[in-house]
Amino acid sequence: MSAARETRRSRFRALLAVSVVVLSACDSLPGKPDPADRYVRPDAVMDFETLFAANCTGCHGEGGRQGPAPLLGDPLYLAYAGPRELRRIVSDGVPGTSMPAFLDEKGGTLRAAQIDALVAGMQASWGMAGRFAGRRLPPYRGTRGGDAGLAYARARGRASFQIFCAKCHAAQGGGTPKAGSVFEPSFLALVSDQGLRTAVVAGRPDLGMPAYYAHAVGRPMSDEEIADVVTWMAAHRVEFPGRPFSQAAPFVGKEP
């Protein structure tokens, strides 16, 4: 084996090595399109974070917190609502409120599989399935009594409101420096009964409102108290809310 042949071979190897380095450097040039930038049709997006950011943050806030619409990024809320209710609400929306229907068949922009991905993602990212495993939570859907029961419920609700809520929301409406009125007819016209119930059960810990078990009173609210307080708030709905426009009418509550 001649020396010349030897050097030729090593030169060839060096050349090979250099071209491999150059080629791989080319492959990591800054202009090379990042596969992550590859266009995905909006109806093919399945990534939870992307879906939530593109469809929900506008109203529910980043991470489902501190938005004007109800708190979603909260373990208690997610355990209390459960995947079935979440799927139904996101698909159908909440009629009469600003929560739109997202399912394509209902006029929305998401496919059923995407809604499943959203619900699963919320549970996985923000829920803590284990934490509420042993605990009995108030059921998602409340009960309402008959007409006679309704009058009682209102009276009881008024009393419970005094105990649990008046400190912040003021018993007669109008609100306190800690929180605004929950009896504003226009507010009540834009919130569902279920929305009121959710507010009482899950609270708005992101905005300073305690959940049903965390009130300063020292004991959690019972299922009845929750239902009664909601009934009492709902009793303040009026027939023509929001008129005249210039001033939401001052509270003229119907006594039970």
Partner 1 sequence: MGSSRLRAAGDWLEQRLGLRPLFEGSAGHLVPSNASSWWYVFGSATLVCLVMQIATGICLALVYVPSADQAWESLQHLDFEQPFGWYLRGLHYWGSNFMVALMTLHMIQVFLFGAYKYPRELTWLCGCLLFLCTLGLAFTGQVLRFDQNAYWGLGIGVSIMGRIPLLGESLTSLVLGGPILAAETLTRFFSLHVFVLPGLVITLVVLHLRMVLHNGINEFPTRGRGVDPETYDAEYAELIERTGEPFFPNAIHKDLLFSAVVIGSILACAAIFGPKLPNGPPDPTLIDTVPRPDFYFLALFSVFALLPPYMETFLIVYVMPVVVLALFAIPFVSRSGAKHPADRPVAVAGVVLVMTTVMTLAVLGLSSDWSPHMDAWKSVAVPVEMVEGRSPLELRGAAVLQAKQCRNCHALDGSGGKRGPDLGDVATRLTEDQLIRQVLQGGGNMPAYGKNLSPPEVAALVAFLRTLSPADAAIAQNSADPLGG
Structure tokens at 61: 């806030």
Q: Please choose which of ligand HEC, partner 1, none residue 165 contacts, taking the beta carbon within 5 to 8 angstroms, the exact cut-off set by kind.
A: ligand HEC
The window from 14-22, 65-73, 154-162, 223-231 that contacts partner 1 (CB under 8 A) reads 65-73
The window from 26-34, 84-92, 112-120, 141-149 that contacts partner 1 (CB under 8 A) reads 26-34
Please enumerate in sequence order all residues whose Cβ is within 8 A of that of 201, keeping only pairs 6 or more positions apart, or say none: 76, 80, 137, 138, 211, 212, 226
Residue 90 phi, psi dihedral angles, 5° rounding: -65, -35
Please enumerate in sequence order all residues whose Cβ is within 8 A of that of 146, keeping only pairs 6 or more positions apart, or say none: none
Q: Please choose which of partner 1, ligand HEC, none residue 176 contacts, taking the beta carbon within 5 to 8 angstroms, the exact cut-off set by kind.
A: none
Amino acid 57 reads T
Helix (H, G, I), strand (E, B) or coil at 81: helix
Among 30, 95, 130, 146, binds partner 1 (CB under 8 A): 30
Shortest distance (Å) from residue 36 CB to ligand HEC: 22
How many C-beta atoms lie closer than 10 Å to residue 235's C-beta?
19
Q: x/- string (CB under 6 A) for ligand HEC, residues 151-180?
A: -------------xx-xxx--------xxx
Structure tokens at 67: 């938005």
Angle made by CA atoms 195, 139, 82, in degrees to the nearest 5: 75
Distance CA 114, CA 169 (A): 38
Among 48, 61, 72, 156, binds ligand HEC (CB under 6 A): 72
Rg, the chain, Cα only? 28
Among 48, 55, 121, 221, binds partner 1 (CB under 8 A): 55
Among 123, 181, 198, 231, binds partner 1 (CB under 8 A): 181
Q: Please choose which of ligand HEC, partner 1, none residue 210 contacts, taking the beta carbon within 5 to 8 angstroms, the exact cut-off set by kind.
A: ligand HEC
If one asks whether residue 31 binds partner 1 (CB under 8 A), the answer comes out as yes
Distance CA 255, CA 103 (A): 40
For partner 1, the binding residues (CB under 8 A) are 26-27, 29-33, 35, 37-39, 41-42, 53-59, 61-62, 66-69, 97-100, 175, 179-182, 184-187, 189-191, 207, 240-243, 245-248
